[in-house]
Amino acid sequence: MKKNIAVIRGDGIGPEITVQAINVLNAVAERYGHEFIYDEVAMGGVAIDAYGEPLPDEMLEKCKAADAVLLGAVGGPKWNGVSGDKRPEKGLLKLRAGLGVYSNNRPAKIWKQLSSASPLRPEIVQKGIDFIIVRELIGGIYFGEHKTENAGGQLVATDVLTYSESEIKRIGRIGFETARKRRGRLCSVEKSNVLDSSRLWNKVMRSLAAEYPDVQLTEMLVDNCAMQIVKDPSQFDVIVTENMFGDILSDEASMITGSIGMIPSSSLGDGKRGLYEPIHGSAPDIAGKDVANPIGTILSAAMMLRYSFDMDEEADAVENAVSSVLDKGFRTADIYGKEAGTTLCECSEIGKKITENIGKRK
């Protein structure tokens, strides 16, 4: 098969981790007889420097024309002084909205090889950590009006949080469908004791529940959920939540699995075209040092193979290659705990080892 992939290397560690994922994709192409064509897209700080804006329209068009988009990370202190509507992150939000990818899927699963890297107590980890956060990605407070104005001699800032029934319904369906394919439990996370948007959220989720009798729907307040994720993560199968709650909870969920550097994500809309990115940021403090963990990006590429290209066997091959490299004890700094039998690796080294471990078609 021939596929067009728009590649956004981005800022900070973005370029280092993205190249490792591309090497892995090239190994898949070679071993499985596919052709992947890459189209480079400038977004984030690099685009601000080159074009004066974080995602020029023609760059968004390139992404829309591709079969899928692979993204490293954007942002960094260099662009901190840039006004809110021109920040690197604005490029990412424009990309997500422009592609219409409303459903962001962030798995929190502990790799058996890394259980000692979890900051949770062993008896909690042993009960199992394997859940998915389905995060609404193109609505809510991220996309409401943002303004700062002078009122009565002081500055007043406003950010508006809006959700419509149809926006809640479409992400709700993804939550139910995802739970149906897993262990059949969906936890809807909200703040209905304070927010109208959450009360509407619950109403829509309850109305959908009738269509999914095989899925058990529960509701949980977001503050309680933050606590339950560290108290007993084994209770969760699928969490569905709005944009900002999902942003916050997915960082927390990633950490209990050992490292945010391990976690991939997929973002999909109604079609097959998706956006694939690790959930971590551009980590400017370690950029250019070849110490970042490329596995989140490599696993994002695996999700691309699975969800956008229907290449399940190839996706399995990538995930198995990651698993076997971890089995052999290779670790980047973020997951290295000096245990016997483990070896500290650079970003490029672990990437190379994963590439070499991609098997051939069976």
Q: Report in angstroms how near the CB of residue 250 gets to Mg ion at its nearest.
A: 6
Residue range at the interface with Mg ion (CB under 5 A); choices 115-123, 191-199, 239-247, 324-332: 239-247
Contact 290, 347 (CB under 8 A): yes
Residue range at the interface with Mg ion (CB under 5 A); choices 3-11, 187-195, 241-249, 303-311: 241-249
Q: Is 251 a catalytic residue?
A: yes
Where do the DSSP E strands lie in 121-210? 130-136, 146-151, 154-159, 185-190
Shorter beta-carbon distance to ligand IPM: residue 89 or 346: 89
The backbone torsions φ and ψ at residue 150, rounded to the nearest 5 degrees and listed phi first, read -90, 120
Pairing of strands 216-221, 274-276: unpaired
Instruction: Say whether residue 8 binds ligand IPM (CB under 6 A).
Output: no
Instruction: Say whether residue 279 binds ligand IPM (CB under 6 A).
Output: yes
- Among the listed residues 62, 90, 94, 191, the single catalytic one is 191
Q: Looking at 67, 242, 247, 277, which residue binds Mg ion (CB under 5 A)?
A: 247
Alpha carbon distance 20, 22 (integer Å): 5
- Among the listed residues 3, 62, 94, 142, the single catalytic one is 142
Instruction: Say whether residue 177 binds ligand IPM (CB under 6 A).
Output: no
The DSSP element (H or E) to which 219 belongs, if any, is strand 216-221
Q: Which does residue 92 touch among Mg ion, ligand IPM, none (CB within 5 to 8 A, set by kind)?
A: ligand IPM
Instruction: Say whether residue 247 binds ligand IPM (CB under 6 A).
Output: yes
Shorter beta-carbon distance to Mg ion: residue 20 or 250: 250
Q: Report in angstroms how near the CB of residue 343 gets to ligand IPM at its nearest.
A: 30
273 forms beta bridges with: none
Instruction: Say whether residue 53 binds ligand IPM (CB under 6 A).
Output: no
Alpha carbon distance 122, 262 (integer Å): 19
Q: Report in angstroms how near the CB of residue 250 gets to ligand IPM at its nearest.
A: 6
Q: What is the DSSP string of 187-214?
A: EEEE-TTT-HHHHHHHHHHHHHHTT-TT
- Nearest by Cα to 25 from 340, 309, 330: 309
- Nearest by Cα to 295 from 8, 56, 21, 98: 21
Instruction: Say whether residue 319 binds ligand IPM (CB under 6 A).
Output: no
Q: Is 51 a catalytic residue?
A: no
Q: Is 191 a catalytic residue?
A: yes
- Nearest by Cα to 248 from 112, 141, 354: 141
Instruction: Say whether residue 92 binds ligand IPM (CB under 6 A).
Output: yes
- Enter the tokens of residue 198: 């959450």
Q: Report in angstroms how near the CB of residue 150 gets to ligand IPM at its nearest.
A: 27
Q: What is the dihedral of CA 339, 343, 344, 348, to 10 degrees?
A: -150
- Among the listed residues 67, 247, 276, 334, the single catalytic one is 247
- Among the listed residues 49, 159, 223, 232, the single catalytic one is 223
Where do contacts with Mg ion occur on this chain (CB under 5 A)? 247
- Name the residues annotated as catalytic: 142, 191, 223, 247, 251
Q: Which residues bind ligand IPM (CB under 6 A)?
A: 75, 89, 92, 247, 279, 281
